[in-house]
Amino acid sequence: MKTYFVYIVKCKDNSFYTGVTSNLELRIDQHNFGIKPDSYTFKRRPVELVWSEGFSQVDQAILWEKKIKGWSRRKKIALIESNWDDLVLFSKNYTQFGNKINE
């Protein structure tokens, strides 16, 4: 059975890039080698893998990739750090939580 990975890399400029692949090691190498000059990570190399999750179905992996791409930076950091309390907090309406959001 094939595994599909959703992954987050941290770029040299501290931004995050989220993608999906069936070969995680090769894909990270491709990001760092710079295969496509017009890609997001090309001018932000090197990149570092900071999070990944495997899925058995490609459609599930693509769904999660799209969800994560829509998340705020702080929510992505909570995921990377396995900080489930903040992940839940940052999934709610920001106006409900006062200073915790601005920390």
Q: Which domains does the chain have, with CATH numbers?
A: 1-70 (3.40.1440.10), 72-103 (no CATH)
Residue with tokens 């490609």: 58
Q: How many residues does the chain have?
A: 103
Model confidence pLDDT, tens digit, residues 28-51 = 999 999 999 999 999 999 999 999
- Average pLDDT estimate for 16-22: 98
**Where residue 74 falls among pLDDT bands split at 50, 70, 90?**
very high
Write out the two tokens for 75: 């929510």
β-bridge partners, 29: none
Of 22-26, 27-31, 83-87, minimum mean pLDDT range: 83-87
Tell me the pLDDT band of 90, cut-offs 50, 70 and 90. Answer: confident
With vertex at residue 17, the alpha carbon angle to CA 93 and CA 41, rounded to the nearest 5 degrees, is 150
The rounded mean pLDDT for the chain is: 91
